[in-house]
């Protein structure tokens, strides 16, 4: 991410003199240094889909929510444990209490499921109190249902591991979800917050492309959308033509 910030800084002012020393360092990324890779989480509680994506070696984590658990028809604790065994990455499991005290009790139960459980809390006063308490103890927290850059600023101040802005639901309501991601990226870069921007409520592959261009840290998308990234009509056509010509040679590799 620092590399991206560097590019943005150079493009916008062509000079680095008024930026703090910490940022000036990013102007000197060596040829073998890279900004961290974008992480891919899948937004589902369907075991078969998670297994399929995990087998590609490209899956970095999983997000769930009460609606996805309901859709799966599975027991929350049981399915979360199973998912945690399919990836080494964070698996977001959401609290359902609305008050801080009960959220903490629920988090206590959820974090015992596995070391890679990430507690998901809503962006409310109680949710952020819970976020602060949990991250201070070293527990990963994903702050969900973020719809404004100011909310994302609060989550970063509360020490969130991930902030989940919902781009699709933002679009559905007449706003541009990607504008929100740009604003959050700018604010987090301004203050070098460690909170990772986890673009959520993704509806199509263009949301992922735009997230990568902006420099979001993570995307979480339904399995279908992630699988859609592999597809291109010209790839299919090209394979078809190569296979036809190869057959005409009458040769085999094995
Ligand atoms: C993220 O963590 C949420 O589970 C999810 O992305 C919500 O997406 P939706 O708006 O498609 O329900």
For residue 64, give the ligand 1 atom closest to its CA. Answer: 4
- Between 31-40, 64-73, 146-155, 235-244, the lowest mean confidence (pLDDT) is in 31-40
Given this model, what pLDDT does residue 184 score?
A: 98
Give the model confidence (pLDDT) of 216-231 as tens digits: 999 999 999 999 999 9
Asked whether the predicted pLDDT for residue 39 surpasses 50, the reply is yes
- Which pTM was predicted? 0.88
The answer to whether 196 and 189 have CB atoms below 8 angstroms apart is no
The overall average pLDDT reported for the chain is 90
- CB under 6 Å to ligand 1: residues? 43, 63, 65, 144, 164, 166, 168-169, 200-201, 220
Both 127 and 187 in one domain: the answer is: yes
Range of the domain at 7: 1-35
Asked whether the predicted pLDDT for residue 12 surpasses 50, the reply is no
Domain membership of residue 251 (yes or no) is: no
Both 66 and 142 in one domain: the answer is: yes
Both 40 and 158 in one domain: the answer is: yes
Domain membership of residue 119 (yes or no) is: yes
Both 78 and 120 in one domain: the answer is: yes
Both 40 and 147 in one domain: the answer is: yes
Q: What are the tokens at 143?
A: 């702050």
Both 47 and 151 in one domain: the answer is: yes
**Cα distance from N-terminal residue to C-terminal residue, the chain:** 44
Both 138 and 240 in one domain: the answer is: yes
Query: 212 phi and psi, to 5 degrees?
Result: -65, -40
Domain membership of residue 178 (yes or no) is: yes
Q: What are the tokens at 47?
A: 């075991």
Both 171 and 199 in one domain: the answer is: yes
Give the model confidence (pLDDT) of 134-177 as tens digits: 999 999 999 999 999 999 999 999 999 999 999 999 999 999 99
Residue of 165, 172, 200 with the most ligand 1 atoms within 8 Å of its CB, for mutation: 200
Domain membership of residue 253 (yes or no) is: no
Both 91 and 9 in one domain: the answer is: no
Domain membership of residue 7 (yes or no) is: yes
Region 68-97: mean pLDDT is: 98
Element (H, E) at 164: strand 162-165
Residues 59, 67: Cα–Cα separation, whole Å? 22
Q: What is the CATH number of the domain that holds 127?
A: 3.20.20.70
- Provide, rounded to the nearest whole percent, the portion of the chain with pLDDT above 90: 86
Domain membership of residue 183 (yes or no) is: yes
- CA-nearest residue for atom 8, ligand 1, is 201
For residue 200, give the ligand 1 atom closest to its CA. Answer: 6
Both 85 and 18 in one domain: the answer is: no
Both 107 and 12 in one domain: the answer is: no
| Catalytically active residues, by annotation | 120
Both 158 and 233 in one domain: the answer is: yes
Domain membership of residue 191 (yes or no) is: yes
Domain membership of residue 192 (yes or no) is: yes
Q: Which of 126, 252, 146, 251 is nearest to 201 (CA)?
A: 146
Given this model, what pLDDT does residue 30 score?
A: 57
Given this model, what pLDDT does residue 34 score?
A: 63
- Between 35-39, 75-79, 168-172, the lowest mean confidence (pLDDT) is in 35-39
How many domains does the chain divide into? Answer: 2
Given this model, what pLDDT does residue 19 score?
A: 40
Q: What are the tokens at 106?
A: 């629920």
């Amino acid at each position: 991410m620092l590399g991206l910030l560097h590019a943005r800084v150079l493009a916008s002012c062509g000079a680095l003199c008024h930026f703090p020393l910490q940022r000036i360092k990013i102007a000197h990324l060596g040829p073998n240094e890279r900004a961290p890779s974008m992480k891919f989480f899948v937004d589902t509680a369907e075991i078969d889909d998670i297994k399929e994506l995990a087998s590609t070696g490209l899956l970095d984590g999983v997000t769930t929510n009460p609606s996805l658990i309901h859709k799966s028809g599975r027991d929350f604790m049981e399915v979360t444990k199973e998912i945690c065994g399919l990836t080494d990455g964070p698996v977001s499991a959401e609290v359902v209490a609305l008050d801080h005290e009960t959220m903490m009790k629920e988090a206590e139960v959820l974090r015992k499921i596995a070391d890679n459980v990430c507690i998901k809390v809503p962006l409310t006063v109680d949710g952020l109190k819970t976020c602060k308490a949990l991250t201070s103890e070293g527990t990963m927290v994903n702050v969900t249902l973020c719809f404004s850059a100011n909310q994302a600023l609060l989550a970063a101040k509360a020490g969130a591991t991930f902030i989940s802005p919902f781009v699709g639901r933002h679009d559905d309501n007449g706003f541009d979800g990607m504008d929100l991601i740009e604003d959050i990226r700018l604010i987090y870069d301004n203050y070098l917050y460690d909170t990772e921007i986890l673009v959520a409520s993704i509806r199509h592959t263009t949301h992922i492309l735009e997230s990568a261009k902006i420099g979001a840290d993570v995307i979480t998308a339904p399995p279908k959308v992630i699988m859609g990234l592999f597809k291109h009509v010209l790839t299919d056509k090209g394979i078809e033509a190569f296979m036809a010509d190869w057959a005409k040679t009458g040769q085999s590799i094995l």
